[in-house]
Copies of this chain bind each other. A is one copy, B any other.
Amino acid sequence: MGIQVYGFWRSIASFRVRVALRLKELPFEEIPIDILSGEQFKPGYEAVNAERVVPTFIHDGHSVFQSLAIIEYLDDIQPTPRLIPEDAKERAYARSLALMTVADAHPLVVPRVRNHLAKAFGADAKAIEDWGKHWTTEGLATYERLLARRAPAPFALGAELGLADICIAGQVVGAHFLKLELNAFPMVARLADRCFEMPAFATSHPFEQPGYKTASAH
């Protein structure tokens, strides 16, 4: 039955999962759920994902929710290339870096939160964009401070590409959405350049998805 991923072109969490699958060379089918128009709240998708978010990963009828849990699961079932190091301290550092965007910066800028800012506070498009820029910049600044610790390593943990790089690249995708310059974050910018040179990252970028191209054409 292979792998199916319910995702969305704009979803940074879907981006992370796409990259991990492609680094591991696991073929998958992506089924789009339009989280901008609220398709995730329809009963059909709630049966797939009780939290009504993307992505949902399905493999031979088994579902996994949440991008970080999906990537950990992929590392368990297909350990090469390994995305999370085997050494306990290094694993912990990889997860720490991942969670800085997964659990702190990114949750603040997703569509359901942006929509609720408008509803709860009457925030207009400009105010919501400024909110997004604030938290996206905070996340980038945190990564810049942390990358300095292992500079000039090519990747976040050192020589090997992995989970932390996928998550930092996702934070940079958030900057692309908001047209934020990365001049103040040169180490993050170099890491992202290195990542997006690789086909697994480049082909997974939201702007390279069919749904983006369709949306842009309208």
Q: Chain A: residues with CB nearer than 8 A to chain B?
A: 46, 50-53, 62, 64-66, 68-70, 72-73, 76-77, 88-89, 91-93, 95-96, 98-100, 102-104, 106-108, 113, 116-117, 120-123, 127, 130-131, 134, 142, 145-146
Contact = CB atoms under 8 A, between A and B. Distances in A.
B120 A65 contact: no
B121 A117 contact: yes
B69 A96 contact: yes
A202 to B, nearest CB: 25
* Interface of A, helix, strand, loop or mixed by DSSP: helix
Given A50-B142, A66-B95, A104-B107, 17 more contacts: A50-B145, A51-B142, A51-B146, A64-B93, A65-B96, A68-B103, A70-B92, A76-B92, A77-B88, A99-B103, A103-B103, A103-B106, A107-B107, A108-B108, A108-B113, A117-B121, A120-B127
Best-buried of A98, A104, A130, A134 by chain B (most CB within 10 Å): A104
A68 B142 CA distance: 18
